[in-house]
């Protein structure tokens, strides 16, 4: 049970940080968790393509934030069209 709480907290942190980096940051907690969760998968995939893997908490947060930033950028690109 504690593992899920920690995972959700990391997802929320990744979503919040990515929102701040991308100039948003005013999303709610649920949106940050969802963005962070999906962004974590995107980040792991992208980092895996270039040969990196996150082996600790800091690496997971970095890959989650990068993945979430990519997700936000792609979403904004398609929302403009």
Render pLDDT for 30-78 as a digit per residue (tens, 0 to 9): 888 888 899 988 998 999 899 888 788 898 899 999 999 999 899 889 9
CA dist., res. 62 & res. 80, Å (int):
27
CA dist., res. 36 & res. 54, Å (int):
15
Q: What is the pTM of this model?
A: 0.86
* Range of the structural domain that residue 31 is part of: 2-80
Which residues, including other chains, have CB under 8 Å from residue 66's CB and lie 6 or more apart?
Answer: 39, 43, 46, 47
Structural domain tally of the chain? 1
pLDDT category of residue 81 using cuts at 50, 70 and 90: low
**Whole-number pLDDT of residue 49:** 93
Structure token pair of residue 22: 């991308």
**Whole-number pLDDT of residue 3:** 82
């Amino acid at each position: 049970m504690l593992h899920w709480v920690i995972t959700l907290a990391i997802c929320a942190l990744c979503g919040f940080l990515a929102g701040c980096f991308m100039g948003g940051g005013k999303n709610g907690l649920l949106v940050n968790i969802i963005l962070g969760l999906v962004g974590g998968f995107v980040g792991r995939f992208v980092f895996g393509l270039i040969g990196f893997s996150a082996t600790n908490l800091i690496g997971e947060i970095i890959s989650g934030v990068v993945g979430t930033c990519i997700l936000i950028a792609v979403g904004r690109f398609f929302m403009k069209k």
